Structure 1
């Protein structure tokens, strides 16, 4: 959580410093570096007190050298100077979310204990996207939820259709009508 709070301080200047295509490229580059943080040997190097900060910085700079961008290099150097190279995975995920928010393109999941076919998933995504004024892509996740639950985290949207709740509401409605 603390990493995210610190990383958020870097996101706004990054968003202001790069144009759309450059932001996408930066997100891809940071994603590659973030993937390296999943490797145990890479983490040993990055967390080692025996490896100098300049060597750690150079390692990450070599990973992003294909971009041939002084702005990307300056970002990496700034992170290294402040001892914040470990923020790169968090920066990567925050940057991807900010780009999606800017483009109004979001991803979400549909949970159900019944299989939901791809056509239904696409229909729900399209209809929900129309209501929210965004482009939404959903993926089906098998779960033990008795009904259907749709979640789009970055939009803070959660919709539930529970069979047990529907049955309880129908019984309540019938009892009120009597």
Structure 2
């Protein structure tokens, strides 16, 4: 949470200064660097006090060098000056989320205790997207939830259908009808 708040302070000026193409390219670059943070060895290097800031900066700059992006280079140098290179994963995630918000592209998850085919998930995403005026992509996540739950965090949407609750409501309805 702390990293997300700090990342927002870097993201806002990027949106004010850069066009959409530059932001998309920067997001892709930061995502590629963020994947390096999944490696324990890379994290050890980045957090080591034995490795100089200049060496860490050069390492990250080498990772984005093929893109020849002045914006990415300046951002990395700024992060290094402030001792915040470890902020890159949060920055990549926040930038992608903000770009998605601007383009109205959102990601969500479908939780269920049994497998759901890809066509059904795509249909749910399309119908939900039509309801909210956005493009939504959903990912299936196996869980122990007794039913189906759909979550799209950035839109604050949570929809769930519980088998237990449905059965209870059905029994209640039948009893009322008698």
TM class, shorter-length: over 0.9
> What per-residue deviation string (whole Å, max 9, x for no partner) do you get for residues 38-70 of structure 1?
122222221111221122111111111112122
- Equivalence for 1:24: 24
Alpha-carbon distance, 1:144 to partner:
2.0
Normalising by structure 2, report the TM-score. 0.93
Aligned partner of 1:70 in structure 2 is 70
| 1:80 matched residue in structure 2 | 80
Whether 2:38 is the aligned partner of 1:38: answer yes
Rounded to whole Å, the distance in 2 between the matches of 1:47 and 1:141 is: 32
Of 107-116 and 149-158, more deviation after overlay is shown by 107-116
CA distance in 1, matches of 2:97, 2:82: 24
Residue 9 of structure 1: how far off its partner (Å)? 0.8
How many residues are paired up? 178
Shift of 1:140: 2.2
Contact 2:26 2:71 in 1 (8 A): no
Name the counterpart of 1:171: 171
Cα gap change, 1:118 to 1:69, in 2 (>3 Å)? closer
Q: 1:133-144 maps to which residues of 2 (within 5 A)?
A: 133-144=133-144
Q: For 1:22-171, what aligned pairs fall within 5 Å after superposition?
A: 22-171=22-171
Q: How far did 1:12 drift?
A: 0.6
Cα deviation code 1:95-146 (max 9, x no counterpart): 1111111111112121122332222211111110000110111122222222
Backbone CA RMSD of aligned residues? 1.4
Q: 1:41 to 1:142 in 2, by over 3 A?
A: closer
Q: Distance in 2 between matches of 1:37 and 1:114?
A: 33
